[in-house]
Amino acid sequence: MDIQNHGFINKGTSQLDDLRNNLDHIDRQLIELLGKRFEITETIGQYKACNDLPPQDKKREYEQFEKISQTAETCGLNSSTALTIYRCIMDIVICRHEEIKRLHLKTRQL
């Protein structure tokens, strides 16, 4: 990338600070949304455990990844990048659902 053609030379740190502040704001929004997402997946994990459903649903994952890929492309984000991020999120959720199921089974045995 030729930074001279993007107006970034000799602009001082105020422009950089503004850009970083924008990123900080977006990061906060992302974290808030992830928090809400994990609250919902926690409830889903409880539901699955109580109803003897498996922690992982491959069909649902496939459908989600298709939607995520399409949404990413529509929004101008590289679909591979979006899928990598969501794979990490899904893996965390699956691990948590497995833990919830183990705890649920343990409590039922008592």
d(CA 42, CA 97): 7
Could you identify the residue written with the tokens 């970083």? 20
- Which residue, 59, 53, 55, 44, is CA-closest to 91? 55
Predicted TM-score (pTM) of this structure: 0.82
12-109, which class in CATH? mainly alpha
pLDDT of 1 strictly over 70 = no
Confidence of residue 9 (pLDDT cuts 50, 70, 90): low
